[in-house]
Chains A and B, each alone.
Chain A
Amino acid sequence: MSANADLAEDAILDAVNGGLIVLDQDARILRWNAWMAFASGHPVASVLGKPLTGVFPDLDLRRLTTAVRAALASGASTVISRTLNPAPLPLRTRSGRTLLHDITVSPVGERSGAACLIFVTDVTMATRREKYLRDQQNARYDAIVENAPDVILSIDSGGLIQMANSAAVSQFGYAMGDLIGKSSSLLFDTAGDWSSMLQAVINDAISFRSCELIAVRKDGSLSYVEASASRWNIGSQGFATVILRDVNERRAVDAALRCSEALARNAAIALADLNQTLEQRVDERTAQLMKAEEALRQSQKMEAIGQLTGGIAHDFNNLLQGITGALHVIQKRISGGRIGDIDRFAAGALESANRAASLTHRLLAFSRQQPIDPRPVNVNQLIASIEELLRRTIGETLQMTVMSADDLWLVRCDANQLENAILNLAINARDAMPDGGTLLFETANAVLDTGQARSREVKQGEYVRLVVTDTGTGMPPEIQARIFEPFFTTKPIGKGTGLGLSMIYGFVRQSEGSVRVDSKTGKGTSIEICLPRYRGDLEVHAEEVAGRERRAGSDEVVLVVEDEPMVRVLVVEVLKDLGYYALEAETGTAAIRILRSSQRIDLLVTDLGLPDIGGRLVAEAGIATRQNLNVLFMTGYAEKAAGSAFLDGGMEMITKPFSMDELAARIREMIERN
């Protein structure tokens, strides 16, 4: 090697902008360029031939020494970077600052072991620039990340934590150094959920928002967090930044809310149950109440029936007493031959029997099964005919006024029942006015319009209105509502049967009319009866017949059909008295046989209730062969016959019990009409 060459080589080495050290096979300094001399402060003359430890006696040069040995022994090249080896050599910049540097150590020559080259690169500028940029970035970054109340973690694709903020330290209880590099799945109780979420974020770049996870703190306690995550890259490496928000408080509030909601829900359910139970109980109680009411009503009815039958039995006994007593006297007088004043006793017996008949009428009217005998009636005349009786009934302490309308229309009803009704009302009024007062009877024509008719439950049209008003005690609504019920009475036991008003109701409804009550406690009571107008003439003769007795012709033939022998004998006796010829039949069959014969028959008098064939069928069989046959039905109990529709032309009805005079009058009337 020439001096020129040496000079040239040294000059080249000195011109390199970097440190160059060449060591010989014994690791002694062979070359030391100007850059090295300047940066280290050791002139070349002072270092040549020395080992590195001789130049830098205070330094730990093991790393460099190893690299030199490797280069010399095995030809290996080594990198010693500032990254892992801060300031391997004590070098200074021109301005006197620490010179940051990287070192490479390489073998020199074809054969290893001859020499090695140490090359030092100045990275001060680059490092400073990087640091400046990074610090600037970090300042902004830290302002956000370090001050964030939420945990922020950066996690690499292996699931390891690469960055954590201070909130992570306080949240999880780990020191920063323990967190970094830790497997992030160790932070979660729901590690499976966490891992799949993380995989989705890093591998598939799916961002997550608001996924709830359960985190585990260092002390083992659990913490609810809401995680959101997104992916980012450094170079080719994928990372996830995860933000964990503490939702424990929110969950506690939610839980409290859910708890109170659940309580409310349970309360609502309980309430619903209670309601249902309550409804059920109400239903049960109502049923019990209804049952009790029904039982009460039944027992009241039984009590009332008891009262009634007791009263009736009493009345009947009295009447029977009168009848049997009179008959006994008559019998004794006849056997004794003293028949002089026998009529008086016979009359007494008859009166008792008539009163008994009246009683049964009332009972039947109550049961609404009384066959009514409707005839045209002038209500004014009817009231006038019983006015005297009414006055006597109500007594002298009460004033009685009758206001009769002029030109009052006729009605068609059973006059006896109307009389009874008026009497009943008068008696009730009297009882309602123990301290005196006024009883007013009013009659008037009335045309009921649709509304008025509907409120009375009758057809619209023309009616005769009878109103009976007292100035008595009146009735409260609850009593008004019940006054038409059978047996309902406000009177003491024994003073009334409770049948009066219900009997009136039955009669009026049967006559297609109405009855209404208007009453106020302390203000008196007003009862209105409306009966439909009858367009026809008054049958004056019906009234007259009863009293008179006329003997008829002797060739008329009357067929009497009656299974009760006593009644049959009586009827036949009446007919004979009237001068008619009587045929008798005990059964319907026998009667039909006679009716189909050529025997003259002017009138058929038949019981409706025959044991074999009903009276009605007998009559029809008769009319089939004798078109003009007149028929008089006798009945004591005729529910089905109660309406007038039952009766065709030429048919009439007489209700048991009837007086012999009455029967005679009806028979005569029918035969003579023919």
Chain B
Amino acid sequence: MTSAFSISLSELELDALTELVNLGVSGAALSLREMVHEEVVLSVPKVAVVTREQAIATLGEQESKRLVAVQQDFAGDISGRALLIFPETKSMELVRAVVGGNLSLEDIAELEQEALAETGNVLLNGCLGTIANNLQRSLRISLPEVIYGDGAEFFAAIPSRESGYSVLFIHINFAVRNRDIRGYIAMLLDIPSQLALKDLIGAFIERTTGQVYVPSSNVG
């Protein structure tokens, strides 16, 4: 079943990936700090590669149905879609955290789309860019778009890519102005991109450790 297909990462590979994500997220935190002129703390408690169904199930179990996401597509050696996902109920909070000040609810509501887009944009660019830089691969990353829906809608197959997708599922905590908001970064990757990612991770490990890295298997 193609939809259940996903790359299998070894513990070392997963550690390397987590490290990459952490690098990306801390870059994003710096960018956000520039933006909001406040201390911004981003942390990544968990990274996992799951099937699309698992990702949908995880979101369905842990979050309310209504979700909001900032979505950016990327293309290059690896292609796919990156999403920053929050429960819809937290989006105002996120915007208020980023914007600060005593803005009225109406003002916040008005700013919400743009602020969400820009915040998500900074975070996703940070992650994707850091990964791309460290993997020494170039990507083209689109402008952000804010979408509402549930996990199933977010992870619907990208029509132009027929093959199965996996989801690199990153739990993320976002703390600014005494507000702590929990969310997810999800990267939908098609099979070639997953294989490329695995190779790239291997290369990253070799560069980082100075040793030849032989992955146990390509696909699990």
Q: Which residues of A contact B (CB under 8 A)?
A: 62-63, 66, 70, 73-81, 83-85, 102, 104, 106-107, 110-113, 130, 134, 137-138, 154, 156-158, 160, 162-163, 176-177, 180-181, 234-237, 239
CB-contact partner of A74 in B87, B90, B109, B132, under 8 A: B132
Does B96 count as interface, using CB distance less than 8 angstroms?
yes
| Given contact pairs A74-B133, A74-B139, A160-B93, A237 touches B108 in the complex (Cβ within 8 A) | no
Known: A73-B129, A85-B35. A106 touches B143 (CB 8 A): yes
Complex formed: what's the CA distance from A110 to B148 in Å?
Answer: 31
Kindly state whether residue B179 has any CB partner on chain A within 8 Å.
Answer: yes
Q: How far is the CB of A161 from chain B (nearest CB, A)?
A: 9
Q: For window 110-144 of chain B, which residues contact chain A by CB distance below 8 Å? A: 110-111, 114-115, 117-119, 121-122, 125, 128-130, 132-133, 138-144
Please measure, in the bound complex, the distance between the C-alpha atom of A154 and the C-alpha atom of B104, giving whole angstroms.
10
Shortest beta-carbon contacts, A-B, top 8 = A74-B129, A158-B89, A112-B138, A163-B105, A76-B125, A162-B105, A76-B141, A83-B114
Q: Which residue of A lies closest to B91 (CB)?
A: A237
Q: Are B115 and A83 in contact (CB under 8 A)?
A: yes
Given A74-B132, A80-B118, A84-B115, check contact A160 B92 (CB 8 Å).
yes
The minimal Cβ–Cβ distance linking B142 to chain A, given in whole angstroms, is: 6
Instruction: Flag if B125 contacts A130 (CB, 8 Å).
Output: no
A-B contacts, CB under 8 A, total: 128
Whether the pair A70, B102 counts as a contact (CB closer than 8 A) is no
A405 to B135 alpha-carbon distance, docked (Å): 157
Interface residues of B in 81-111 (CB under 8 A from A): 87-93, 96-99, 102, 104-111
Q: Which residues of B contact A84 (CB under 8 A)?
A: 35-36, 98-99, 114-115, 118-119
- Chain B: minimal CB distance from A123 (Å): 10
Is A180 a contact of B35 with CB atoms below 8 Å? no
Contact with A along B195-216 (1 / 0, CB 8 A): 0000000000000000000000
Interface pair A63/B34, CB less than 8 Å apart:
yes
The 0/1 profile, CB within 8 Å of A marked 1, for residues 57-83 of chain B is 000000010100000100010000000
Q: How many residues of chain B have a CB within 8 Å of chain A?
A: 50
B97 to chain A, nearest CB (A): 8
Q: Which residues of B are found within 8 Å of A79, using beta-carbon distances?
A: 114, 117-118, 121, 143-144
**In contact, B118 and A70 (Cβ under 8 angstroms):** no
Extra A-B contacts (18), CB below 8 Å, given A77-B142, A130-B110: A63-B31, A70-B129, A73-B133, A74-B128, A74-B132, A74-B139, A81-B115, A83-B114, A84-B35, A134-B110, A137-B106, A157-B66, A158-B89, A158-B93, A160-B92, A162-B105, A163-B104, A163-B105
A252 to B13, CA, bound (A): 68
Residues of B within 8 A of A63 (CB): 31, 34-35
Q: Which residues of A contact B91 (CB under 8 A)?
A: 237
Chain A nearest CB, measured from B30 CB (Å): 8
**In chain A, what residue has the closest Cβ to B119?**
A84
Give Cα A160 to B143, complex, Å: 30
A624, B143: Cα distance in complex, Å: 147
CB B107 to nearest CB in A, in angstroms, measures 7
Q: Given A81-B114, A84-B115, are A181 and B140 neighbors across the interface (CB < 8 Å)? A: no
Could you tell me if B96 and A180 are in contact, using CB atoms closer than 8 angstroms?
yes
Asked whether A157 lies within 8 Å of B89 as measured between CB atoms, the reply is yes
Query: Could you say which residues of chain B place their CB within 8 Å of the CB of A110?
Result: 140
CB of A583 to closest CB in B, whole Å = 133
Please name 28 pairs of A and B residues whose Cβ atoms are closer than 8 Å in the assembled complex, sorted by A.
Answer: A63-B31, A63-B34, A74-B132, A75-B132, A75-B139, A76-B125, A76-B128, A77-B121, A77-B141, A77-B143, A81-B117, A84-B98, A84-B118, A107-B140, A110-B140, A134-B110, A137-B106, A138-B104, A154-B105, A156-B89, A156-B92, A158-B89, A160-B93, A181-B93, A181-B96, A234-B105, A234-B109, A237-B88
**In this complex, which of A157, A177, A239 has the most chain B Cβ atoms within 10 angstroms of its Cβ?**
A157
> What CA separation (Å) do A160 and B179 show in the bound complex?
11
Scan residues 176-197 of chain B and give those whose CB is less than 8 A from a CB of chain A: 179
Given contacts A76-B125, A78-B125, A79-B121, A134 and B107 within 8 Å (CB-CB): yes
Q: Give Cα distance in the complex from A237 to B90, angstroms.
A: 10
Cβ contacts under 8 Å, A62 to chain B: 34
Task: Give B59 Cβ to nearest chain A Cβ, in Å.
Answer: 16
- Inter-subunit contact B125/A157 (CB<8 Å): no
Q: Do A236 and B88 touch (CB < 8 A)?
A: yes
CA distance A163 to B108 in the complex (A): 10
CB-CB under 8 A from A106, the residues of chain B are 143
Residues of B within 8 A of A77 (CB): 72, 121, 125, 141-144
- Report the Cα distance A76→B126, complex, angstroms: 9
A110 to B76, CA, bound (A): 9
Name the CB-closest residue of A to B140: A75
Cβ–Cβ < 8 Å partners of B35 in chain A = 63, 84-85
Whether A235 contacts B143 by the Cβ 8 Å rule is: no
- B66 adjacent to A236 (CB under 8 Å): yes
Could you say which residues of chain A place their CB within 8 Å of the CB of B66? 157, 236-237
Q: Which residues of A sit under 8 angstroms from B138, Cβ to Cβ?
A: 74-75, 111-113
Inter-chain CA distance A630–B115, complex, in Å, is 143
A107 and B72 alpha carbons, distance in the complex (Å): 14
Bound together, the chains give a CA A62 to CA B133 distance in angstroms of: 20
Q: When chains A and B are docked, how far (Å) is the Cα of A552 from the Cα of B107?
A: 151
How far, in whole Å, are A388 and B66 apart by their CA atoms in the complex? Answer: 133
Contact across chains for B93 and A112 when beta carbons are under 8 A apart = no
Question: What separation, in Å, do the CA atoms of A85 and B115 have in the docked complex?
Answer: 10
Q: How many angstroms from the CA of A62 to the CA of B36 in the assembled complex?
A: 12
In the complex, what distance in Å separates the CA atom of A177 from the CA atom of B125? Answer: 31
The distance in angstroms between the C-alpha atoms of A518 and B5, with both chains bound, is: 129
- Point out the residues of chain B lying under 8 angstroms from A80, CB to CB: 118
* Closest Cβ–Cβ distance, residue A80 to chain B (whole Å): 7
Alpha-carbon distance A171/B201, docked complex (angstroms): 57
What's the minimum C-beta distance from B126 to chain A, rounded to whole angstroms?
8
